[in-house]
């Protein structure tokens, strides 16, 4: 079950637009039907697919008869702009380039499987489909995405070879195999044709032979379907392979729609927790998060100055797979992806981040900050901690691990002081400022000597070790510094103030 608002938002990317809506967009939808009579009675449901309707009026009559509150119909050149007002039926217009078979898979996936995806279970089983296809065509099957990553594979091993084993084990075709397919023009064929293609065996790469066909929805290449075989498939197996590719496309469309829905539900709950929710425990439970403390991970990703594409890709990777297969729950807010990750240990969060980073293309720059472990009710404060750690990661070396707040709170405090200092909010008079001017004019090292002495808690020997000079040199410099400015080193508050100013103005 989904709301009309979610249906409109998701179908908007599939060539469907809301033409007229006399009902609240919060209306819940729980069933999908087409216009038909079954046993002398009209089938009823919330969403009607008006397949074959010759006009808006006819589609509307069908919707009223089916007790539907939403009707999807082809665009018609008539002036019935406000049809459905009295009947309380929302109208959604389907673009002519979108087939009803593809659209019905998406709508059914959204409406009928909305509750299932909200609880984190997948709507389709590509592995079962791969097994069925393998039995029909008589060879081991793999289903891959456009980047040659394995989405599913059959348990049947007929005609399996070392190349297939490596592909399945690595969840992606090896680089050498992808280069081979590229030189053979396989990927060019997949981009431009729906006809199955035979790739002859290559013993150097451990490949016995492949039959491959594009998995396409409209003009979009959604992946490819591969069969291990020693020679080109003949009929009827060849036709079964082409039909199987169309079935895979429908499954992927349903999976995409369900994933979009799950992301929306998940994001809403995560942001509710991060913003402070009176029912925090209930929201965490709906997300499928185990009771206990968790960490907030703030992530930003960008390519050069383009922050949108990288960020969206990072969010897609962070939310890939259904709820039960992912340890964290994520939301996209502004220019940051926030993930709630159960567990106390910062290293677990760093491993999660490393996995996310490894799944992204090399040109992307990925930054992250990790909060201190927090209960569900304390997540708003944890979000702020993650944001500050994210900012700290941005000024660290590129290969530095993401900082965690409980390990880096001192660096964050000093960074706040440095930010204030850069805005001109440090004293330009006083002992430290006067010693700094003296150093600049006379090439002395009084500021560094004062810092070393304060850090050594007044021990001249330790301060000398830090500076690489004799302790008597430290004492001599302190006497000369006392002649330049009123240090008052015997005053604890003055010493603390000087330490703060030195920390704030120290180079990053």
Average pLDDT (298-304) is: 86
Cα distance between residue 449 and residue 292, in whole Å: 48
Cα distance between residue 257 and residue 13, in whole Å: 10
Range scoring the smallest mean pLDDT among 278-292, 309-323, 415-429: 415-429
Q: Given a cut of 90, is residue 211 above it in pLDDT?
A: yes
Return the beta strands (E) in 307-438 as ranges: 329-333, 336-342, 365-370
Mean pLDDT across the chain, nearest whole number? 84
pLDDT band at 40 (very low <50, low <70, confident <90, very high): low
- Residue percentage of the chain with pLDDT more than 90: 35
Average pLDDT (452-473) is: 93
pLDDT band at 286 (very low <50, low <70, confident <90, very high): confident
Q: Tell me the per-residue pLDDT of 3-30, one tens digit each, with 9 for 90 and over.
A: 888 788 777 767 788 888 889 988 888 8
Q: Is 153 helix (H, G, I), strand (E, B) or coil?
A: strand
Cα distance between residue 63 and residue 57, in whole Å: 10
Helices of type H across 210-306: 237-275, 280-286
Nearest CA to 225 out of 109, 146, 340 is that of: 146
Q: Given a cut of 80, is residue 226 above it in pLDDT?
A: yes
pLDDT at residue 115 in the model: 39
Nearest CA to 90 out of 52, 111, 59 is that of: 59
Q: Tell me the per-residue pLDDT of 66-117, one tens digit each, with 9 for 90 and over.
A: 899 999 998 765 554 555 567 789 999 988 877 887 788 778 767 765 533 3
Q: Given a cut of 60, is residue 124 above it in pLDDT?
A: no
pLDDT at residue 55 in the model: 87
pLDDT at residue 471 in the model: 93
Cα distance between residue 200 and residue 211, in whole Å: 9
pLDDT at residue 420 in the model: 67
Give one DSSP letter per residue of 102-142, joined into a string.
HHHHHHHHHHHSHHHHHTT--S--HHHHHHHHHHHHTS-EE
Q: Given a cut of 50, is residue 120 above it in pLDDT?
A: no
Cα distance between residue 125 and residue 155, in whole Å: 14
Cα distance between residue 502 and residue 154, in whole Å: 65
- The residues, any chain, with a CB within 8 Å of residue 242's CB and separated by 6 or more, are 194, 195, 196, 213
More confident residue, 506 or 158: 158
| Residue 40, both tokens | 């002398």
Q: What are the structural domains of the chain?
A: 2-117 (3.40.1390), 126-254 (3.30.450.40), 289-408 (3.30.70.270), 426-505 (1.10.10.2840)
> How many alpha carbons fall within 13 Å on the CB side of residue 491?
7
Within the chain, how many helices (H) and strands (E) appear? 19, 18
pLDDT at residue 456 in the model: 92
pLDDT band at 122 (very low <50, low <70, confident <90, very high): very low
């Amino acid at each position: 079950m989904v709301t009309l608002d979610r249906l409109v938002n998701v179908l908007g990317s599939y060539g469907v637009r809301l033409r007229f809506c006399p009902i609240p967009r919060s209306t819940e939808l729980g069933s999908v039907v087409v216009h038909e009579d079954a046993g002398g009675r009209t089938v009823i449901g919330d969403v009607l697919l008006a397949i074959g309707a010759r006009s808006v009026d006819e589609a509307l009559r069908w919707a009223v008869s089916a007790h539907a509150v939403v009707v999807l119909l082809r665009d018609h050149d008539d002036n019935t702009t406000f049809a459905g007002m009295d009947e309380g039926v929302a109208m959604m217009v389907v673009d002519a380039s979108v087939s009803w078979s593809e659209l019905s898979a998406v709508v059914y996936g959204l409406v009928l499987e909305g509750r299932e995806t909200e609880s984190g279970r997948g709507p389709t089983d590509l592995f079962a489909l791969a097994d069925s296809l393998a039995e029909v065509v008589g060879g081991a099957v793999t289903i891959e995405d456009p980047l040659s990553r394995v989405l599913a594979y059959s348990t049947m091993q007929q005609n399996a070879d070392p190349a297939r084993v490596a592909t399945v084990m690595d969840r992606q075709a090896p680089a050498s195999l992808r280069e081979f397919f590229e030189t053979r023009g396989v990927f060019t064929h997949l981009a431009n044709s729906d006809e199955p293609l035979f790739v002859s065996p290559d013993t150097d790469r451990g490949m016995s032979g492949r039959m491959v066909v594009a998995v396409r929805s409209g003009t979009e290449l959604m992946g490819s379907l591969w069969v291990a075989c020693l020679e080109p498939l003949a009929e009827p197996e060849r036709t079964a392979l082409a039909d199987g590719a169309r079935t895979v496309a429908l499954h992927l469309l349903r999976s995409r729609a369900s994933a979009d829905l799950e992301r929306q539900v998940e994001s809403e709950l995560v942001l509710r927790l991060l913003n402070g929710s009176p029912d925090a425990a209930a929201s965490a439970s709906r997300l499928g998060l185990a009771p206990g403390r968790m960490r907030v991970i703030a992530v930003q990703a960008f390519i050069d100055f383009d922050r949108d594409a990288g960020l969206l890709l990072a969010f897609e990777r962070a939310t890939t797979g259904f709820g039960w297969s992912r340890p964290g729950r994520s939301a996209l807010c502004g220019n940051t992806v926030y993930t709630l990750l159960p567990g106390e240990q910062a290293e677990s969060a760093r491993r999660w981040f490393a996995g996310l980073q490894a799944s992204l293309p090399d040109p992307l720059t990925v930054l992250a900050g990790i909060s201190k472990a927090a209960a569900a009710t304390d997540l708003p404060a944890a979000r702020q901690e993650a944001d500050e750690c994210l900012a700290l990661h941005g000024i660290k070396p590129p290969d530095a691990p993401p900082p965690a707040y409980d390990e880096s709170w001192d660096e964050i405090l000093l960074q706040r002081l440095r930010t204030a200092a850069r805005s001109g909010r440090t004293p330009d008079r006083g002992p430290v400022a006067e010693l700094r001017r003296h150093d600049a004019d006379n090439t002395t090292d009084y500021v560094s000597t004062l810092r070393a002495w304060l850090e050594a808690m007044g021990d001249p020997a330790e301060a000398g070790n830090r500076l690489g000079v004799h302790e008597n040199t430290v004492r001599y410099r302190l006497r000369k510094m006392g002649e330049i400015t009123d240090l008052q080193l015997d005053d604890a508050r003055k010493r603390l103030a000087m330490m703060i100013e030195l920390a704030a103005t120290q180079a990053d």
